[in-house]
Chain A
Amino acid sequence: MLLIDAIFIGLLEASPLILAAMGFTLIFYLNGFMNIAYAESITFGAYFAVLFNVVLGAHFYLSIVPSMLLSGCLSVAVYLAIFRPALNRGVGPTEMIILSVGVSFMLRYGLILVVGPENLFLNEPDITYLQFMGMGATNLQLVALALVFLGAGTLYWMIYNTGLGEQMRGLANNHDLAMASGINPHRTSVAIWFIAGCAGGLSGVFSGVFAQVTPYMGWNVILITMLVTIVAGVGSVRGAVVAAVVAGVLTAFITLVTKPLYAEVALLLAFIGVLTYRGARTA
């Protein structure tokens, strides 16, 4: 029973993480560096939702899609303005990570300077509590879960079954060969950064509505996202999904057994352990 509870709670709590890990993985795979500024895709997704939902007064469900798209646009803008020129200059992977930390600071504290450091709340839609076989969840959680799986499924299908996914994998594995076979690297990259930004934005909207919207919300999950991605192996979107689900369930399980803070420690230790024994395939 404890196990079923853990799986259920874990899936509910991991649902934003699954999307974030998938988006993060896409960029990692395509450009070969860990984009810490991806945290701001998550944060800005939630803030765009505040803009539509609270400031403009739209219904929560209606504000999901535009916030997601705007977050994607922001991701593309950052890519075109900063990351693409840097990649063209041949900045190394570690320096790219430091650059992304800089971008992350710029966006996050720029946001705080504009909207202020206060925590914000989204107007939740009417919440009803549903029970099914002894397990309870709100309708909002179930909608979120369904949308996450829809989003994750679409992303998965796109990467493994469509032309865009094939182009992306081609570019990631052998840039020159991909260009020689007529793939436009510019268009593919823009598309991937847009999709990754959308996934991050959606993840942010859901973490925002489950709890609160803060300027640090993306930053707080980026470490776990990063570790999930690395453990999953470079660019394995399948692996990212599995690792995110496992991380969520594991956290929920340990939280049920002991204190939540120990869950965090155990999870981080498990990641270091996996990194140690996975050998060359990791990152």
Chain B
Amino acid sequence: MDYLIFSFSLMLVYIGLAQLLHVQFGLLGIPNFGVVGFWGLGLYGTGVLYVSYSMPLIVAILLASLITAAVAYILSHLVLQRSGQAILAATLAFAAIVATLIITEKDITGGVQGLGTIGFPFADVASRNVIYFFLLMVVVVLLIWISAKLRDSRMGRSLIAIRDNEELAASLGKDTAGTKRGVFVLTCALMGLLGGLTAPLHQFLVPYLLAPSLTFAVWIALVLGGKGHNLGAMVGVFATFGLFDILIETYAPVPAEQAILLPNFKLFCYGVLLVMIIMFRPAGMLGVDGPRTRARPATTPAGDASVKEG
């Protein structure tokens, strides 16, 4: 039962990360392939502050998110105005740097031996993991709600304008570089926050957690669910993590000798699913949901059409 709660809590973290990626890539068009780097900074930042400096958990998490924001700010100055492929490679490299430094700086992070233990808050309550699960759920629901609000706001429309044609948006007087930087730093800081919130789930941190597979799992989930749909992240994580890691690994009757190959089979299926989706339904399972704008006084038909396209 505890393991199931752990799995579901982890699934909420994945949904949160995919939702932030939806804002970064689906709305703003920044291909961030360094998700695990930002998440890992939050995770290890929280761990180090909590274990070595014995700060209260909530303070450690918030401080680690701030550190993540600062790093994201520096990175955004370096590469955010480059092309998409350059951003992709640079963020991937960033995540690799974080993962390597966690191993080399063993005086701070514990290196490959690991860092621990990080306990749940409200330690004297018996069902503290259930409470924590609901706490995570509140955070994730808030994230989904805020990104829906963001998409429907003026800000959201200017994000979409930047994604579709940055030069045009700039010529309309939008501060495209500043907006991109601001949203990128904020969403990366929130990835760090989710990382910090993951720390009590794992309790004991090892560098293996920072493998790039997390980034790809989140990307696959988002693309599968629908990168342009507000609920795409959630549906995508249900269809990947929920289906394979929870349902099949917990309930499918697999003989022991084949059980070792199960993770490989899972990743093979992810690959096949990803290829099928991009070939046959590139917008993802849910497609794209337009911003829900209030009915406006009718202008010209051409004007209406452009509003709908959003």
Partners in one complex: yes
Q: Looking across the interface, which residue of chain B has its beta carbon closest to that of A101?
A: B216
Contact B78 A105, beta carbon cutoff 8 Å:
no
Contact A82 B275, beta carbon cutoff 8 Å:
yes
For B55-83 the 0/1 string (1 means CB < 8 A from A) is: 00000000000000000000100110011
Contact A109 B271, beta carbon cutoff 8 Å:
yes
Asked whether any CB of chain A lies closer than 8 Å to the CB of B94, the reply is: yes
Specify which of B104, B271, B279 is in contact with A105 (CB 8 Å cutoff): B271
Inter-chain CA distance A234–B56, complex, in Å, is 49
> What B residues does A283 contact at CB under 8 A?
82-83, 85-86, 89
Specify which of B78, B96, B101, B264 is in contact with A275 (CB 8 Å cutoff): B78
Interface residues of B in 217-232 (CB under 8 A from A): 219-220, 223
Chain B: interface secondary structure?
helix
Inter-chain CA distance A261–B96, complex, in Å, is 11
> What B residues does A261 contact at CB under 8 A?
100, 103-104
Contact A97 B97, beta carbon cutoff 8 Å:
no
CB distance from A25 to the nearest CB of B (A): 13
- How many A-B contacts are there with CB distance less than 8 Å? 135
Q: Looking across the interface, which residue of chain A has its beta carbon closest to that of B273?
A: A102
Contact B264 A98, beta carbon cutoff 8 Å:
no
Asked whether any CB of chain A lies closer than 8 Å to the CB of B239, the reply is: no
Asked whether any CB of chain B lies closer than 8 Å to the CB of A85, the reply is: yes
Q: Looking across the interface, which residue of chain A has its beta carbon closest to that of B98?
A: A265
Instruction: Check A104/B84 contact, CB under 8 A, given A86-B279, A272-B90, A275-B78.
Output: no
Inter-chain CA distance A267–B96, complex, in Å, is 11
Inter-chain CA distance A88–B96, complex, in Å, is 33
CB distance from B270 to the nearest CB of A (A): 6
Contact A265 B101, beta carbon cutoff 8 Å:
yes
CB distance from A103 to the nearest CB of B (A): 6
Asked whether any CB of chain B lies closer than 8 Å to the CB of A79, the reply is: no
Asked whether any CB of chain B lies closer than 8 Å to the CB of A259, the reply is: yes
Q: Looking across the interface, which residue of chain A has its beta carbon closest to that of B274?
A: A102
Interface residues of A in 77-97 (CB under 8 A from B): 82, 85-86, 89, 91, 93-95, 97
Contact A34 B85, beta carbon cutoff 8 Å:
yes
Asked whether any CB of chain A lies closer than 8 Å to the CB of B278, the reply is: yes
Interface residues of A in 227-274 (CB under 8 A from B): 227, 230, 259, 261-262, 264-265, 268-269, 271-273
Asked whether any CB of chain A lies closer than 8 Å to the CB of B298, the reply is: no
Contact B223 A106, beta carbon cutoff 8 Å:
no
Asked whether any CB of chain B lies closer than 8 Å to the CB of A99, the reply is: yes
> What B residues does A109 contact at CB under 8 A?
264-265, 267-268, 271
Asked whether any CB of chain A lies closer than 8 Å to the CB of B295, the reply is: no
Contact B89 A230, beta carbon cutoff 8 Å:
yes
CB distance from A281 to the nearest CB of B (A): 10
For B231-246 the 0/1 string (1 means CB < 8 A from A) is: 0000000000000000
Interface residues, chain A, with chain B CB atoms under 8 Å away: 33-34, 82, 85-86, 89, 91, 93-95, 97-99, 101-110, 112-113, 117, 223, 226-227, 230, 259, 261-262, 264-265, 268-269, 271-273, 275-276, 282-283
With A106-B268, A112-B264 known, 7 other A-B pairs at CB within 8 A are: A34-B89, A94-B85, A102-B273, A223-B89, A265-B101, A269-B97, A283-B89
